[in-house]
Structure 1
Amino acid sequence: MPTSDSNPSTDCPSSAVIHRPFGGVRGYRRISDRATRLVVHAFPMSDLPTVGAAGLLSTCGAYVLTDGETAYLGESRRPSRRLSEHAADPGKAFARECFVVCGCDKLLAVDLQFRLTRLALEAGVVKVWKGTNPPEPDVTDAERATHDRIAADALRLLHDVGCQIFHPAREAGTAAQAGTPPPAEVPTDESTDPLDCEPMAIGVSTVPLGSQEFELRYGGLFARGYWAAGRFVVSAGSEVRLAINDSAPALTRSRRDELFAAGVLAPVPGVGDRRRLMVAISFPSTSIAAKVLAGAHSAGKWVPRDPTQAVWLA
């Protein structure tokens, strides 16, 4: 398959239109080019409920889920439903950004999944998360020629909308190009900044000034939180248990589904039974917070932290 850099259809100047129907610059955007049938929808996975409810993902397409380090590539007749299933899958907690290529029939969507997966593997920019290898569709020579041109358009639009996983990063600088490592900086023990002599403190509070900080331990799970404006805020960096007890009530299960679908949980290296919150989350009460984090009907109590436990290191 020709790459986008070798396909004649990309040698000429091109233009694209980016539309943001909801406003803002970090949320949903739709990129298109009048010279091609394709459109690419790009959005944070946390925006999936809004994008899906607006009916923007109702046609067949191929898609990319990634956080810039890991990527999953798929295709579906109904991307909105399939992406919702991925969002609820703890194994795909890495999926922070979503890119959906639409304007496809089923055969083209399957072919794009196959082509994009192979390109991502060859580029080596991310680790490609795969279940089974995507199949290479049986196409005629005429269909393959058409798909070559469409795939080049897809790569161009994906690149322009911010999906950078299909092109290896180019080395910068003459030293890198020549294979010569840059000269190493020589460390010095002499400090010119008076602050370098100040000690560091381990275990200090991250809560607003004057607030009491609490911690929760349930099995191996650890979390911190504090009260603010009448709600209990669980701090970023706290952990969420993947398993859920049979005794957990339906409302707790619903809240956990919403949390996992929001795309705000990251894997904990070396730990398979928990995920880490990348943002702070507020709850109506400490009890609800504990139930959601632990996936349990009763997860114990939040215990006040002693601020005098901070350790000063000279």
Structure 2
Amino acid sequence: MNIFPSNSQLPIHHLAACFNSTSATYKFYWLLAILDAVQQQQREVEKKQLFASMLSNAWYTVNYFQVSFGQQDLIQSTVRQLKDIEGITIDEQRTQIQNRLVQSENRDTLKLLRHFDNQVPHWFLSPWYPGKGKREIYQLSQSGENQPIYQLHKDRIIIPDDWFNYLTKHIRIIRDFVYWNLSLFLQARNPNVPDIPNKLIKPAMRNSLVKQRKFWDYVIDKNRPLYCIYTGKELYKGRYHVEHFVPYSFVSHDQIWNLIPSDNTFNVSKSNKLPPLEKYFDAFYNMQELALQTYLLDKPNEKLLEDYFYIGTDLRYGLSKEKFYDVINPLVTIASNNGFEFLY
């Protein structure tokens, strides 16, 4: 069965076979880079542009969500090095990252980009030329034998018209296939990290926390004074931030059991750091239990209370401190193992 739409003029099965054996993310990001070029109507593409596109596509996944790519994968380490070498921020727009890398004349940057030329462009064509070496693959692709998806040259690739038209027509299907397989690849290497698929692309806009703010407004109204667990400052309606106890960049959701009100200035400085549980868990639990009991008494049908069910809470008995710790502690431990820093 063909994974992609069939085409009697092209060996589509070779494209599907590109991901039969993968030990790193190179092939996924290489094809995504090619699709980006096709979307921009580029048939002839400089390799440097493609390598920059690969790294810019991986930028947010590596630097913000800190997903592990595995020990053998150099995309992750390269992205982190380039962030420091080029001084590019974690949340820079992908197109700006790509442009910066393409235009860079820094010797260290150029060396890191050239690394991918040693492996990626020719090995991606292995299904078209099984058993062939690098030099042969270059020669055969330029001659057009077996109708490769692109012709390989020293500093660029050229996409033949038939393949370009096919990729243009089916770009959404192919891109979704790549992301699906990339998410499976990364999930296997991050078995305890939640929501890998939503960590592959930087969201255009974060979800609003209006409902969650109204939730905590009511808790503050009913239980004043309420104090920030980090600074001890009193919290007032309209003058606090709704903050993720375990960073959003790890959990990738806005469920109410991980959200509490906090002092405005502290929340900004906390960023995506982890709270040491020995210092903050008791206060975090107490605030969560207070909120839960407030709503169970006054508004037991509040929709946000459903979020507590996702962590196994039986609302008839309130929020068990021991069970709640057993939810939070593994999240903090795994996040720390993945490179998230602690707040001190």
- Bin the TM-score by the shorter chain: under 0.3
TM-score, normalised via structure 2 length: 0.25
* More helix, by proportion: 2
* More strand, by proportion: 1
